[in-house]
């Protein structure tokens, strides 16, 4: 299959390489022209995935038109906050029969849209039926190392999901299908906010009890939001929910946890994110989820306090005191 991958961050690069090794003809769009040239010359993404030799069969391009024209599948791996801008530029060149697979995890600031809502608004209606969304516990570096990984692809179109499942599956990358697009997307987006919270707790020197509490109550917040938005609550016990949440909250490779850890150690948001080559999606998503929870009227105390720490200067220790001294209630509430 001819596949165009939009975005050469660590995840987009890893997926492009995996798909090529899986026998597909892949073109990877690289935003930075100088990086694109180096990737052609050296066969390595020295900024976002250093130390990994890429297949010589990948075609690297700085042209969106070249990346998506005539492709049977287009994979969007751009950061969530720029997906609308990038995909809008690519739309005129995308085949009307192409399957679109989104890898982006986040909620757009301003509109408060999930990637599925954003893409349905941005793409022609003829392509909406071919939308798929890949999520689950998957650090790019480990997939690049061919370490066993399991993820999920969600779509309203069973046929498109099955095609994407077959295209992405390898001996080390196991793909399940799902029909709950909203649930899969919310799990992948909001877990980044909870990961910032667990990172802050770790930075403050708290223990495993605190981490377990944040993960569990964070999952309750995700489920509460998902149920209100029409998702199946059972989705959050799967790979895109609990699986991705545990990985991102505990893994040393988690960018969002790292940002939180630095803040817990006393860094400002600017200091915590400065010098990072890759985007910590939870920083923007925390603001979007905070606004979304207020808009639809649900309580998300962990998310609210992450937002206040990042954007209102609330001291991390004070946030902990606030959370621990809230009114007592039943766990199910």
- 191 is annotated as an active-site residue: yes
The HSE-up count of residue 122 (CA atoms within 13 Å, CB side) is 24
Q: How far apart are CA 240 and CA 193, in angstroms?
A: 14
**Contact between residue 154 and residue 136 where contact means Cβ atoms under 8 Å apart:** no
Contacts of 96 (CB under 8 A, 6+ apart): 124, 126, 127
* Annotated catalytic residue within 105, 163, 191, 262: 191
Which one, of 196, 215, 193, lies nearest residue 259 by Cα? 196
Q: Record the tokens describing residue 106, joined without a space.
A: 């986040």
Which one, of 107, 8, 116, lies nearest residue 61 by Cα? 8
DSSP category for residue 237: G
- Cα distance from N-terminal residue to C-terminal residue, the chain: 48
DSSP 291-327: HHHHHHT---HHHHHHHHHHHS---HHHHHHHHHTSP
Q: Record the tokens describing residue 259, joined without a space.
A: 């940002």
Q: How far apart are CA 189 and CA 249, in angstroms?
A: 13
Residues annotated as part of the active site: 191
């Amino acid at each position: 299959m001819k596949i165009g991958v939009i975005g050469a961050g660590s995840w987009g690069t890893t997926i492009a390489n995996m798909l090529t090794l899986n026998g597909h003809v892949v073109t990877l769009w690289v935003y930075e022209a100088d990086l694109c040239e180096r990737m052609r010359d050296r066969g390595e993404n020295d900024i976002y995935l250093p130390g990994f030799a890429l297949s010589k069969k990948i075609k690297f391009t700085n042209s969106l038109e070249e990346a998506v024209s005539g492709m049977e599948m287009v994979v969007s791996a751009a950061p969530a906050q720029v997906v609308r801008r990038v995909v809008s530029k690519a739309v005129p060149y995308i085949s009307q029969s192409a399957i679109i697979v989104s890898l982006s995890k986040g909620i757009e600031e301003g509109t408060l849209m999930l990637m599925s809502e954003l893409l349905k608004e941005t793409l022609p209606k003829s392509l909406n039926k071919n939308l798929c969304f890949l999520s689950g516990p998957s650090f790019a570096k480990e997939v690049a190392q061919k370490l066993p990984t399991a993820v999920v692809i969600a779509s309203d179109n069973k046929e498109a999901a099955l095609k994407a499942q077959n295209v992405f599956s390898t001996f080390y990358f196991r793909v399940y299908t799902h029909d709950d697009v909203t649930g899969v997307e919310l799990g992948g987006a909001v877990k980044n906010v909870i990961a910032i919270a667990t990172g802050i707790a770790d930075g403050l020197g708290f223990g495993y009890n605190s981490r377990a509490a944040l993960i569990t109550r964070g999952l309750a917040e995700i489920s509460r939001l998902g149920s209100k938005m029409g998702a199946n609550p059972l989705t959050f016990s799967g790979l895109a929910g609990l699986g991705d949440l545990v990985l991102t909250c505990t893994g040393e490779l988690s960018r969002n946890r790292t940002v939180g850890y630095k803040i817990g150690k006393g860094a400002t948001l600017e200091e915590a994110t400065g010098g990072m080559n890759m985007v910590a999606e939870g920083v923007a998503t925390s603001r979007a989820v905070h606004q979304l929870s207020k808009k639809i009227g649900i309580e998300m105390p962990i998310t609210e306090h992450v937002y206040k720490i990042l954007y209102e200067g609330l001291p991390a220790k004070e946030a902990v005191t606030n959370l621990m001294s809230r009114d007592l209630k039943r766990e199910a509430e």
